[in-house]
Structures are given as structure tokens and as C-alpha cells.
């Protein structure tokens, strides 16, 4: 499809005032003369491969494995990744999910770059400005390539010196219907009195995570720290498709805790290697409501005075997509690719209402920006600011969000249940 074939939004609000605080985007764009601090080559292949569990899967690898290598950086470092397509027939890109990279580095085939054909390569460079948990994945035929394993974790730590306790990634992915954590279908064991567990949900649906045998706090969502988070108790944390949840788990003296990822598969944190973890527990009935979790902190903008107001209403109706009749997703009543874009100017404060009347849940993912959740179904957020790049919107729900348009480019805002994105649940956000 072509970005050019799309019309302009008719619901773009008039600009009321010029906002003051604008992030300096040049800080994200890497000086071409600067040497990278983190340098990685990722070679993509379509092949049959062996998972950490020993099972074979037919899909995609990066450097011969899936998930691909975990990339780690320290805040402020320049990350340079060379993507080589060894044998992915449909072409491949890398998108840095949740990292507000400069537009040209966003890795969206057909929007920010062409897919890298077999035999080709592409170099991504960006400054890791925000510390947090992120991931990378192909954004070409992504409904197929992400499910097939063309993905990996990206962690940006605030400082080179390790904090107290273990700090681990728990990237969960379904390979051919089998749930895995970091590619393995058995528990991940950590020894220590406390651990930060960075859960990354790479699948198409929401993933509940719950903890038994220890005290857990949800310290970050979508790569952004929460303010003053307390213990989550017996509630499950629902990790949005594409989203991340960082849990800090403290283990009782001489004991162990179990962080369950959707079911029995767990990250076990144990005071010593000899300690037996508590048995897996059924999913708790309560889900942690992020709207009221944590303690309030002032927002960096006054969301009551937006420059632009957009509505992103998701529905469903019969129509044609690429000439094929079917029941397709709509945005504000329009079928892809005739969905009007959202047009902003650099510096605008944007307010967006996301409404889901489509009959299904949609995990909405905004590229290049993090949005502050203001309210859900009219109930205002009272917790410690909840910033998202991936938001689980249930059928019948509506959310009010606000974000600063401070990252010029052409961006997509789409459903991360990736087959839905292919079926048209996608809007472009463009700077005028
Ligand atoms: Cu993780 Cu546009 O995607
Ligand atoms: Cu969807």
C-alpha cells in the first residue's frame, strides 16, 4: 500500500496554542561521526531451528536462534544494529518496539524504509535515551514473521553498574502453540533474594502474570517507571500484547517466589539453589487496575489544553480489502487504506480518544511516542502516571490519552494482534 493514497483526518482539532516544552529530537538522532557504543549484527534467516527446549520449529531466526540475541545498552549509548537478510524470502526489517527512535530508524516496511531483500542489509542507529524494557521485531509481513520468531529483547539500563539483585528478561512467545520464556518451555530459575523480572509479551493476546511466594511490585510498564508503586498482592498483572511489565520480586528469607507467565510456566526466584519453589497457582480472580496503581506525580503537560484532538474509533463491517470480500476492521467507519491520517505539527499536545466497539479486544500500539493514560470509560487515572506504547483496549471500552508530538516523521498506530493490523486496524500519524 502507499502512504500517499490516504486522505487527511477530518477530525483534527484546530491548534489552540503553541506549547513550550518540546523534547529536542536531535538528541535521539545519532551524530554520523559518533562511534557506536553497542554494535550488533543480526542475520535473519527463514529456517527450521531448535528451541532451547529441544523442540524444532519452522520459522525465522536471528543469528541462528529465536528469540534473537538480547541487546543491552546503558542510557545515552549509541546503538548500532546491522540487519542482514540471509534468507527471508519476503524481505525483513527491524522495529524497536517502544523505543522512541528517530523516524528513519523505525523499521516499518512501506513507511520508513523498504523491506531488506534476501542478500541485502540495513544499518539502524539510535541513541537509547530512555532506560527500560523494549523489544525488537520484524515489521515486514509481521503477522507471519513475528509469530515465527523474528524478534528479541532490548534492555536499556540506567547505569552501567548493576543494581541490587538479579535483573532478567522474561520474553514470552508461543512457538507452534507452545508457551516459552526466553525460548525455553521450562521454568527460568534465578538465585537471589530479589530480582527485577522484565516480562515482554510478544504474542497477539494479553498475558496475565501473577506472583506467589514473595512480595512483588510492578515497577515499570512499557519501558516507563511507575511512581511509588506498592505491592501488587494477589492480583494478576495483564501485560498487553507488545507491552512490557517489569516486576520487582522480593523473596522471603530462605524461600522462593514464582512469577507465573500466563499459566504454570514461571520465572522462579529462589534464595538459594536448594530451595523448592511454591507449586504453580491458578490465575487469581483480580486484575491489577493500572488506572489507580502507584502514587500520583505531576504530568509534564496540561492535558486539558490540547492542540489537536483525535478520535480512534474501532469497529467492524463487511467490505473489500485488496479485492477480497470479508468482515474487516474499521477506524472511524473507514476501511483500510481509506482511513484518514492524524496530522500534527511538531510540539503539538495531542489528545486521543480510543473507542472500541468492534466486538474484540485490540492492543493498540503507537510508534515513536509514549502516551499518558488520562481515563478509561470516563474514570480518571489516579495512580502513578501510566505511560503506554501498547494499550489493551477491551470491547466496549474507551480511553482518553495524551501525548506530545515531539518526534517528527510518519508513524503508525495499529493493533498489535498482528493479523488485525494486516486486516486494516492501522492509522498513520504524520507531521505536517
Ligand atoms: Cu511491535 Cu508496529 O509494532
Ligand atoms: Cu486488534
Q: How far is the CA of 393 from the centre of ligand 2 (A)?
A: 9
Ligand nearest to the CA of 330: 2
Report the nearest-CA residue for atom 3 of ligand 1.
97
Cis peptide, bond prior to residue 132, ω within 30 of zero: no
Query: C-alpha 292: how far from its chain's center?
Result: 21
Q: How far is the CA of 111 from the centre of ligand 2 (A)?
A: 20
Atom of ligand 1 nearest to the CA of 421: 2
Cell numbers found for residue 285? 480472580
* 132 and 42 within one domain: yes
Query: C-alpha 371: how far from its chain's center?
Result: 12
Q: How far is the CA of 365 from the centre of ligand 1 (A)?
A: 6
For 256-296, what is each residue's pLDDT tens digit? 999 999 999 999 999 999 999 999 999 999 999 999 999 99
**Residue 15, in any domain of the structure:** yes
Atom of ligand 1 nearest to the CA of 367: 2
Q: How far is the CA of 430 from the centre of ligand 2 (A)?
A: 21
Q: Alpha-carbon distance 125 to 82, whole Å?
A: 9
* 320 and 353 within one domain: yes
| CA nearest neighbour of 121 among 15, 215, 40, 48 | 40
Q: Alpha-carbon distance 260 to 268, whole Å?
A: 8
| Contact yes or no for 193/270 (Cβ under 8 A) | no
* 240 and 252 within one domain: yes
189 bridge partner residues: 268
* 136 and 93 within one domain: yes
Half-sphere exposure of 255 (CA within 13 A, CB side): 13
What pLDDT is recorded for position 17? 40
268 bridge partner residues: 189, 258
* 124 and 150 within one domain: yes
Question: How distant, in Å, are the alpha carbons of 8, 258, 363 from that of 209?
Answer: 40, 10, 17
- For the chain, the domain total comes to 3
Last residue of a domain, one of 157, 185, 218: 157
Domain holding 407, by residue range, is: 3-21+300-431
* 306 and 280 within one domain: no
Q: How far is the CA of 181 from the centre of ligand 1 (A)?
A: 20
What CATH number does the domain containing 255 carry? 2.60.40.420
Dihedral sign for Cα atoms in the order 74, 80, 84, 89 = positive
What pLDDT is recorded for position 398? 98
| Contact yes or no for 370/389 (Cβ under 8 A) | yes
Q: ipTM score here?
A: 0.97
SS3 113: strand
Q: Which contiguous run of DSSP H or E holds residue 388? A: strand 387-388
Q: How far is the CA of 358 from the centre of ligand 2 (A)?
A: 9
Cell numbers found for residue 78? 549509541
Ligand nearest to the CA of 415: 2
Ligand nearest to the CA of 364: 2
* 29 and 14 within one domain: no
Q: Alpha-carbon distance 414 to 126, whole Å?
A: 23
* 134 and 171 within one domain: no
Atom of ligand 1 nearest to the CA of 242: 1
Report the nearest-CA residue for atom 1 of ligand 1.
97
Q: How far is the CA of 416 from the centre of ligand 2 (A)?
A: 6
* 17 and 50 within one domain: no
Half-sphere exposure of 44 (CA within 13 A, CB side): 34
Cell numbers found for residue 390? 501498547
| Contact yes or no for 342/412 (Cβ under 8 A) | no
What pLDDT is recorded for position 25? 56
Task: Please list every protein residue whose CB sits less than 6 Å from any atom of ligand 1.
Answer: 95, 97, 137, 139, 242, 365, 367, 412, 414, 416
Q: How far is the CA of 363 from the centre of ligand 2 (A)?
A: 6
* 44 and 11 within one domain: no
Q: In what order do the strands lie in the sheet with 410-415?
A: 342-344, 426-431, 410-415, 362-366, 390-393
* 181 and 196 within one domain: yes
Ligand nearest to the CA of 429: 1
| Contact yes or no for 200/279 (Cβ under 8 A) | no
| 8 phi and psi angles, rounded to 5 deg | -100, 150
Question: How distant, in Å, are the alpha carbons of 219, 250, 384 from that of 227?
Answer: 8, 18, 5
Ligand nearest to the CA of 316: 2
Q: How far is the CA of 362 from the centre of ligand 2 (A)?
A: 4
Q: How far is the CA of 213 from the centre of ligand 1 (A)?
A: 34
SS3 169: strand
* 152 and 29 within one domain: yes
Last residue of a domain, one of 247, 272, 290: 290
Dmax of the chain from CA atoms? 64
Cell numbers found for residue 101? 527512535
Q: Alpha-carbon distance 285 to 278, whole Å?
A: 19
Atom of ligand 1 nearest to the CA of 146: 1
Q: How far is the CA of 226 from the centre of ligand 1 (A)?
A: 23
What pLDDT is recorded for position 214? 94
**Residue 295, in any domain of the structure:** no
Ligand nearest to the CA of 354: 2
Q: Which residues of the chain have pLDDT under 50?
A: 1-21
Last residue of a domain, one of 247, 265, 290: 290
Q: Alpha-carbon distance 226 to 31, whole Å?
A: 31
Amino acid at each position: 500500500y502507499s502512504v500517499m493514497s490516504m486522505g487527511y483526518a477530518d477530525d483534527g482539532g484546530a491548534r489552540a496554542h503553541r506549547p513550550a516544552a518540546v523534547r529536542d529530537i536531535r538528541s535521539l538522532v545519532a551524530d554520523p561521526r559518533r562511534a557506536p557504543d553497542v554494535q550488533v549484527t543480526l542475520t535473519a534467516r527463514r529456517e527450521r531451528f531448535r528451541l532451547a527446549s529441544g523442540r524444532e520449529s519452522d520459522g525465522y531466526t536471528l543469528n541462528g536462534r529465536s528469540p534473537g540475541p538480547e541487546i543491552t545498552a546503558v542510557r545515552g549509548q549509541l546503538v548500532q544494529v546491522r540487519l542482514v537478510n540471509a534468507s527471508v524470502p519476503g524481505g525483513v526489517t527491524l522495529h524497536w518496539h517502544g523505543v522512541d527512535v528517530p523516524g528513519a530508524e523505525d523499521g516499518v516496511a512501506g513507511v520508513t524504509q523498504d523491506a531488506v531483500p534476501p542478500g541485502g542489509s540495513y544499518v539502524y542507529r539510535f541513541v537509547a535515551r530512555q532506560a527500560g524494557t523494549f523489544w525488537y521485531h520484524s515489521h515486514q509481513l509481521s503477522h507471519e514473521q513475528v509469530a515465527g520468531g523474528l524478534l528479541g529483547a532490548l534492555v536499556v539500563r540506567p547505569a552501567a553498574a548493576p543494581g541490587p539483585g538479579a535483573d532478567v528478561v522474561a520474553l514470552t512467545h508461543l512457538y507452534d502453540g507452545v508457551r516459552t520464556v526466553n525460548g525455553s518451555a521450562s521454568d527460568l530459575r534465578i538465585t537471589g533474594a530479589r530480582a527485577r523480572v522484565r516480562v515482554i509479551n510478544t504474542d497477539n493476546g494479553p498475558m496475565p502474570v501473577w506472583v506467589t511466594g514473595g512480595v512483588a511490585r510492578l515497577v515499570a510498564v512499557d519501558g516507563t517507571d511507575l511512581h511509588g508503586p506498592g505491592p501488587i498482592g494477589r492480583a494478576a498483572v495483564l501485560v498487553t500484547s507488545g507491552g512490557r511489565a517489569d516486576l520487582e520480586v522480593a523473596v522471603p528469607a530462605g524461600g522462593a517466589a514464582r512469577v507465573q507467565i500466563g499459566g504454570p510456566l514461571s520465572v522462579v526466584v529462589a534464595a538459594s539453589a536448594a530451595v523448592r519453589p511454591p507449586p504453580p497457582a491458578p490465575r487469581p480472580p483480580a486484575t491489577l487496575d493500572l488506572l489507580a496503581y502507584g502514587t500520583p506525580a505531576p504530568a509534564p503537560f496540561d492535558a486539558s489544553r490540547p492542540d489537536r484532538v483525535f478520535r480512534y474509533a474501532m469497529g467492524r463491517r463487511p467490505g473489500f480489502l485488496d479485492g477480497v470480500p470479508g468482515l474487516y476492521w474499521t477506524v472511524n467507519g473507514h476501511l483500510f487504506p481509506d482511513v484518514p491520517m492524524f496530522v500534527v505539527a511538531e510540539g503539538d499536545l495531542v489528545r486521543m480518544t480510543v473507542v472500541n466497539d468492534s466486538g474484540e479486544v485490540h492492543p493498540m500500539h503507537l510508534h515513536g511516542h509514549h502516551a499518558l493514560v488520562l481515563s478509561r470509560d470516563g474514570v480518571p487515572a489516579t495512580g502513578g502516571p501510566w505511560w503506554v506504547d501498547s494499550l489493551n483496549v477491551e470491547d466496549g471500552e474507551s480511553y482518553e490519552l495524551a501525548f506530545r508530538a515531539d518526534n517528527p516523521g510518519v508513524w503508525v498506530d495499529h493493533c498489535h494482534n498482528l493479523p488485525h493490523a494486516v486486516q486494516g486496524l492501522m492509522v498513520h500519524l504524520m507531521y505536517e
